[in-house]
Structure 1
Amino acid sequence: MKIYTRTGDKGNTSLVGGERTNKYDLRVWAYGSIDEANSSIGLARACIEDKKLEDKLLKIQKTLFEVAAELASLGTKDYKPRIEDDEVIFLEDTIDELDKMRPVQNGFIVPGGTMESAHLDVARTDVRRAERYISELKNYYEVNNSLQKYVNRLSDAVYAIARYFDYKDILKKAEEKLTELKGDGKINAKGNLKKSLLTKAVLNRETAEYITGKCIEKSREIGVPMVICVVDFDGNIILLERMDNSLLISIKVALKKAYTAAALKSPTGDLYESSLPGGEFYGLNHEKDIVTFSGGFPLKIGDDIVGAIGVSGGTIDEDTSVSHYGVEVFEEVVKYGTKR
């Protein structure tokens, strides 16, 4: 059988059942747009190595053949509903599953973050176009409600899958950045040795006890029991002190603040904006050992970060006040070479 039939040479085509209509028939626009969306999803699927998501997209593509066939039979004697709510539920379950894996989004995403998400975003817009034609078809035909829900939910599902790949890429880059900033023992070994010597000379347990003691005095002044943690430049604990009646959860939070400040070489409060969509560290706040709210500060000797302090137990302002005071105490030790 030849690919070409010549039956459409005069600008008409066949619907399901053989009825002929013009190629500009709204039904043709609708199922033609579904065909475009199917091809776009196929292009995206060809770039995806995640077997589970590849299988989901393949299932969607097979369903889209049924969507197109149903649209191509509207108004004919051969019309029958082909899409049921089970297919809608499949998309909703997919969306819910992927939404649990990504951070809350508070703004628009510029398409093109990854090859996979870029192709999926094109497919999403193709689905949206098809949905507009289907919505117009309701003025002339009785459109299956489950079909309309499916196409509407499909654009959401494709969007969720696209954002999943963006988020995975962001996490990968953030982890690489984190490793680079921390140093992995193979690069910058000379610099790490220098910091190690500085830490042992100045930021040792004795100094950590002094800083912590001063922070406890400050905490008592404001009437808030806190947890104070001092770590070295690699984020390893030098000293962690919990005041009586401080919250147990503050032990973990104080450590995370100190670790984050040391690993990312930045006050934790300064990381909040960059962890939002579009920021350098977007998604990093979902790493288990990272926090992006205030209360953690690096400890420096000149331009060298030799450790960090983290404080938790009060409000953001109270934690910040006490931890920043700890930095000032450490700077005095460095400046005067003695504890006052």
Structure 2
Amino acid sequence: MVVLNKIYTRTGDGGDTGVVTGERLPKTHPRIVAIGEVDELNAAIGMALSAVQTDELRGMLLAIQNDLFDLGADLATPKTIKGELRLAPERIARLEDMIDEINDALPPLESFVLPSGPGGAAPLHLARAVARRAERAVWALAEEGSMVSDPVPTFLNRLSDFLFVAARKASRDGGGEVLWVPGGASGD
């Protein structure tokens, strides 16, 4: 259990922050940026939770929020440290099962979907875009030579797919999807 008695420490006032090893990294370091993007993603999912209207989607999103805390702990802990919390690879398979479950109940797409819609769809689309940004930040971390656990970028990639189908479901449950109409804004 985590116990936080004091919220501010003043240790980050100089532009650096501590990681699990005790090392201090600049707040602009790719590892800290990736952790921050995942934190924002989790908050975006929390916003979506406040708007989603079905218990089924709410349960899925709450489970994903917990997975994102594991993922953040994984990012904060170098692979060289044994026994620390890691994102379990089985979480990817669980996400794929949730995607298939939702997608199988949806009609095929005949147009692109605009990132809006009723029933919590708009915040789910926003969370999807944040998931893509978090994934890019994790790849940037890996490309600069830092070790990243294999399931982390794959989970984020699958999560953006999940959030897309979840947004479609929320829209349909709330009254209907908002589809792209090519040239529709031109007034023709």
TM-based fold match above 0.5: yes
How far does residue 75 in structure 1 lie from its aligned partner after superposition?
Answer: 6.5
Could you tell me which amino acid in structure 2 is paired with residue 73 of structure 1?
A: T
Deviations 1:61-81 (A, max 9, x none): 001001111111236646856
Bigger RCO (CA 8 Å, 6+ sep)? 2
TM-score by length of 2: 0.85
For residues 212-260 of structure 1, give each alpha carbon's deviation from its aligned partner in whole angstroms, at most 9, with x where no partner exists.
xxxxxxxxxxxxxxxxxxxxxxxxxxxxxxxxxxxxxxxxxxxxxxxxx
Question: What is the number of residues matched between the two proteins?
Answer: 176
Q: Is structure 2 residue 121 aligned with structure 1 residue 148?
A: no
Matched ranges for 1:269-308 at <5 A: 277=179
Unpaired segments ≥5 residues, structure 2: 182-188
2:74 counterpart residue number: 70
Deviations 1:106-154 (A, max 9, x none): 3321112125011111111111111001111222123222222111100
2:45 matched to which residue of 1? 41
* Residue matched to 2:184: none
Query: Does the aligned pair in 2 maintain the 1:67–1:82 contact within 8 Å?
Result: yes
Q: Which runs of 4+ in 1 moved over 6 A?
A: none
CA distance in 2, matches of 1:49, 1:109: 20
Identity of aligned residues (%): 36
For residue 102 of structure 1, what is the aligned residue in structure 2? Answer: 106
1:164 corresponds to = 169
**Structure 1 length normalisation: TM-score?**
0.48
**Kept in 1: contact 2:19–2:77 (CA 8 A):** yes
Query: Which amino acid in 2 is paired with 1:167?
Result: R
- What is the aligned counterpart of 1:60 among 55, 61, 64? 64
Asked if 1:7 is matched to 2:11, the reply is yes
Question: Partners of 2:135 and 2:61 in 1: how far apart?
Answer: 18
Contact 1:19–1:76 (8 Å) recurs in 2? no
> Is there any run of 5+ residues in structure 1 with no aligned partner, and where?
174-275, 280-340
Q: Which moved more, 1:125-134 or 1:48-57?
A: 48-57
- Report the counterpart of residue 21 of structure 1 in structure 2: 25
1:304-315 → structure 2 map (5 Å cutoff): none
Contact 1:15–1:21, Cα closer than 8 Å, also in 2: yes
Distance 1:40 1:79 in 2: 30
Q: 1:126 to 1:277 in 2, by over 3 A?
A: closer
Aligned-partner Cα distance in 1 for 2:69–2:126: 19
RMSD of Structure 2 on Structure 1 (CA) = 2.2
Distance, in Å, in 2 between the alignment partners of 1:59 and 1:169 is 22
Aligned mates of 1:117, 1:106 — CA distance in 2: 18
Structure 1 letter corresponding to 2:148: V
Question: In the alignment, is residue 131 of structure 1 matched against residue 135 of structure 2?
Answer: yes
Task: For residue 100 of structure 1, report the CA deviation from its aligned partner.
Answer: 1.4
1:88 maps onto 2:92 in alignment: yes
Per-residue Cα deviation, 1:17-61 (whole angstroms, up to 9, x for no partner): 322111001000001000000001011112223112111100000
Task: Give 1:14's aligned amino acid.
Answer: G
Find the structure with the greater CA-based Rg: 1
Letter in 1 for 2:168: R
Aligned mates of 2:78, 2:102 — CA distance in 1: 34
**Conserved 8 A contact 1:26-1:137:** yes
Give how far 1:13 is off. 0.3
Write the letter of the residue equivalent to 1:100.
D
